[in-house]
Amino acid sequence: MIARIEDEWHGDVPVATLHGEIDASNAREFGERLHSLVTNRLMAMVVDLSATTYLDSAGINLLFSLAAELSTRQQRLAVVVLSGSPIERMIEITGLAETALVCPTLPAALASLAADG
């Protein structure tokens, strides 16, 4: 499957949905695209991995980098990861959930961000 990224806005929150495999061959390109969505006006950003079939260490590092950038701007990162997926296990092992809000669905992520508002 060809990896691709789609973005849409939910109010002031950009949601980037990553499709396919995210690895060292495309993580830099995906990172540039994700970082391009970051503005000073954001309160938060969502990266939706529900359509992601594979995520290696380069992809995880990308998410940590994005979370760090948002944090320095006092903004939050939420990551959508399907419950029970191999990607969820990788997120747990790496500790990304301590840096970003991890939710099982996009509506849950948007609701949690709105509640933290």
pLDDT at 117: 62
pLDDT at 1: 58
pLDDT at 2: 76
Write out residues in the chain with pLDDT < 50, as ranges: none
- Taking the C-alpha atoms of residue 72 and residue 112, their distance in angstroms, rounded to an integer, is 20
pLDDT at 115: 87
The answer to whether the beta carbons of residues 113 and 90 sit under 8 Å apart is no
Total structural domains in the chain?
1
**Residue 85 sits in which domain range?**
4-116
SS (H, E, C) 79-110: EECCCCCHHHHHHHHHCHHHCCEEECCHHHHH
- Taking the C-alpha atoms of residue 70 and residue 55, their distance in angstroms, rounded to an integer, is 21
We report the CATH number of the domain holding residue 40 as 3.30.750.24
Query: Which residues sit opposite 5 in a β-bridge?
Result: 18
The answer to whether the beta carbons of residues 102 and 60 sit under 8 Å apart is no
pLDDT at 116: 77
pLDDT at 71: 94
pLDDT at 107: 97
Separation of first and last alpha carbons in the chain: 36
